[in-house]
Structure 1
Amino acid sequence: MTHDAEMIQRQRVAELVQNWAVWRDAGDWERFRSCWHEDGFMMATWCQAPASDFIKASQAGWAKGVSILHFLGGISVDVAGTRAIAQTKMTISQRAEVHGVLVDVVCTGRFYDFCEERAGRWGIVMRQPIYEKDRMDPVDPAARLDLDRDLLARFPEGYRHLAYLQTGIGYEVKRDMPGLKGERVEALYRAGAAWLRGETLAWPA
């Protein structure tokens, strides 16, 4: 692949990642569906499921007023033929009541996407966010918020406030997601390298 051809492929993958965030947060479900391949799979704190089920769960949450928004930063794309790994700096912002206080949780991390070009179309085969750090703030700065410290400590440092909020509104939160450091994220990097070598997808590990 020439340098120019590889650059075009990286741009196509970057556009795919950007479309995912814009269309999902806008509730544009049909176009959002086009970001995935049919066997696509989503790993989120609150939902680990095939893309079709994740979309249904997102629609259900949207209808109930669940507020989850995404903001994207820099993106790095590694391309190997018809496969790619995209890492995208992002924040997840969720608003809900915690113990009767309206709060915003902002979680900073990366989207780690296993992507593939099939029949000329790039799509996501697996999305695994990496959760690096988060915080919780009352929307009203004068409000007083007291958290259950024992519950908070049960979740990994990178997304413990996000998990606390999501648990409070009824979701079962996965407790071993990759963070900035550690074996879980190292295993993810190994799975990504294997994907680029053409091996069978080996995630979740």
Structure 2
Amino acid sequence: MPAHMEDRLAIRELVENWAVWRDAGDWARFATVWHPDDGWMTATWFQGPAAEFIAASRDGFERGVSILHFLGGHTADLAGDRAVAQTKMTINQRVVLDGVAADVVCTGRFYDFCARHAGEWKIVRRQPVYEKDRLDVVDPAARLELDPELLARFPAGYRHLGYAQTKAGFTVKTGLPGLTGPAVERLYDEGAKWLAGSATAGDPH
């Protein structure tokens, strides 16, 4: 098998391991997908080093927070020991809003800055791109009214996810990349610079 195909398969496996191990609460193996020196995770509810993300995810998992990930199409651009991978995904979160159980489904992409470390591919930075979302009550007979002022606080790509997470007690970051706009264009530029040899994987802050 050509080396570039082996790399592509390894990167795809890396992305899939992230989702399976994180959602299963397999924290020891989940830690292995991250670059040990400077892994970084950005999400609606968290922005920080991988080690802190693992700890926060574990705490939520043990408290019953239900955030699950499903993966779809995948592509990767390679440049030597670096890569940028994009993977279609959905984020599914079960929440209770004003006493009503609901599911939020957010569709987008994982945009991953990857590097080879000690012969294995690792995630240096993960930045989700939030394209669209929706909210559905679990019981079709239930009635739920959303606060329009709170809902309007978040971008269209993760409006309902941001609403639900705020109601659940999380602090949700605004201005994250969506399908179009300056934030995602900046992300694409950072990805191109990463492949060209930039010192850092963009500016996740």
The interval holding the TM-score normalised by the smaller chain is over 0.9
Q: Structure 2, unaligned stretches of length 5 or more?
A: none
State the one-letter code of the partner of 1:123: K
Partner of 1:164: 163
Percent identity over the alignment is 63
Q: After TM superposition, what 4+ stretches of structure 1 lie above 6 angstroms from structure 2? A: none
Shift of 1:7: 1.2
Partner of 2:203: 203
1:119-134 matched pairs, under 5 angstroms: 119-134=118-133
Shift of 1:140: 0.4
Q: Distance in 2 between matches of 1:80 and 1:98?
A: 46
Partner of 1:117: 116
1:1-205 matched pairs, under 5 angstroms: 4-38=2-36, 39-201=38-200, 202-204=202-204
Shift of 1:164: 0.4
Q: Distance in 2 between matches of 1:99 and 1:175?
A: 23
State the one-letter code of the partner of 1:161: H
Shift of 1:203: 2.2
Q: Distance in 2 between matches of 1:153 and 1:177?
A: 15
State the one-letter code of the partner of 1:108: T
Shift of 1:200: 1.8
Q: Distance in 2 between matches of 1:142 and 1:73?
A: 32
Aligned length: 203
TM-score (norm 1): 0.97
Deviation sequence 1:82-113 (CA, Å, 0-9, x none): 00000000000000101110000000000000
Shift of 1:177: 0.5
Deviation sequence 1:125-172 (CA, Å, 0-9, x none): 000000000000000011101000011001000001000000001110
State the one-letter code of the partner of 2:57: S
TM-score (norm 2): 0.97
Q: Structure 1, unaligned stretches of length 5 or more?
A: none
